[in-house]
Amino acid sequence: MGEIDGLDEMKSYLTPRQETEMTATYQNTTAIACPVCEESFDNLVVCKRDETSLSLEKVMSLCTVTNDDGRLFLFTHE
């Protein structure tokens, strides 16, 4: 799942939490490894637009991946 092509497939293993016009958030309830750092991540945030505003409620580490169509995938580590 570390390949960029597998990011959309990865979402099918995650639990959907929130979706807006700008983002979709999924919780990692099955301990899937982050494709960037290979550690288990907490949430995946998919940015649907080129310009997206995010509000982080707590301090966390972020790993980012951009796929072929330009969507940004943020993997959060609390």
Q: pLDDT tens digit string along 19-64?
A: 999 999 999 999 999 999 999 999 999 998 888 888 777 778 899 8
User: Under 8 Å CB-to-CB from 60, ≥6 apart: which residues?
Assistant: 42, 76, 77, 78
Cα separation, 6 vs 33, in Å, equals: 12
Is 43 or 3 the better-scoring residue by pLDDT? Answer: 43
- Residue 5 pLDDT grade (very low, low, confident, very high; cuts 50, 70, 90): low
Write down the pLDDT at residue 68: 67
Q: Does the structure show a pLDDT above 50 at 2?
A: no
Name the pTM for this structure: 0.82
